[in-house]
Amino acid sequence: MMTQPSTARILDVVRQELAENVMPVTTDVQAQASLQMIDHILATVAVRVEHEIAWMVEEGDAIGALGDQIVTAEPQATGVATALAALRAAPLTSLHYDDVAARYSLAGEVLSCAFEDVPTDAPLRAALEAQLDQRMQHEVEIMGEFELVART
């Protein structure tokens, strides 16, 4: 399997080709808008292929650990306990995308339940907010600059 050039680098080349040789000769406004969208999508995909698997695994592990702390400190957090049990019942069996993404969704459910179960004045609330900010940081890194195209 060839790993060089990397997928991200190939996507960069595709974007450059579209920008320099396709966009300038495209006159249809709908097609121009599509090309702008495609360029943005390719930019996001380039970041995803570089980091997505690692970020999902890292976030999932951190949320699992946080879930353990919540279940110990907040006995009323039954939603978290149930979601955490589902996460623990689905150990990471491979680094193939579907396996990692399925487990990441289960971790997301733990985090969702935590916001519903953990009181806003509980000591663990700050850690919950930090975990959501971590997820936000990754999302923003993937999204990059974003402003809706073709709106005027």
Partner 1 sequence: MVDLESVRDRLGAFLQDQHGAPVEVADLEVLTGGYSLVTVAFTATTAEGSARYVLRTDPPSDAALTQSDRAQEAEVLAALTDAGTVPMPRLRWSDPTGDALGSPSLILDFVDGPQLLARLREVDDAELASLALQLAETIGTVHVAGNAAAPPSLARPTTWDDYVDGYIAGWRAVERDYPESDPFIRWVADWLDGHRPPPAPLTLVHGEFQTGNVMLDSSGAMQVIDWEYAHIGDPRADLGWMQNVAAFTPPDPMAVDPVGFCRRYCEVTGLDEDIVNPSTVAWFTVAAGYKSMGALLQGIAAVATGDNHLITSAYLVSAMPFIHGLWRETVHALEADAAAARSTVEAAS
Give the binding site for partner 1 (CB under 8 A): 29-30, 33-34, 37-38, 40-41, 44, 101, 104-106, 108-109, 111-113, 115-116, 120, 132-133, 135-136, 139-140, 142-143, 146-152
**Least distance (Å) between residue 82 CB and partner 1:** 13
**Least distance (Å) between residue 138 CB and partner 1:** 9
CB closer to partner 1 out of 5 and 54? 54
CB closer to partner 1 out of 73 and 150? 150
Q: Identify whether 75 is preceded by a cis peptide bond (ω within 30 of 0).
A: no
CB closer to partner 1 out of 5 and 88? 88
CB closer to partner 1 out of 74 and 109? 109
CB closer to partner 1 out of 65 and 146? 146
C-alpha span between 89 and 67 (Å, rounded): 14
**Least distance (Å) between residue 29 CB and partner 1:** 6
Which of the 8 DSSP states describes residue 25?
Answer: G
- Which of 59, 35, 55 has its CA nearest to residue 47? 55
**Least distance (Å) between residue 149 CB and partner 1:** 8
- Assign 3-class secondary structure to 23-65: HHHCCCHHHHHHHHHHHHHHHHHHHHHHHHHHHHHHHHHHHHH
> Do 22 and 134 meet the contact criterion of CB atoms below 8 Å apart?
no
C-alpha span between 23 and 31 (Å, rounded): 9
Identify the three-state secondary structure at position 142: helix
**Least distance (Å) between residue 74 CB and partner 1:** 15
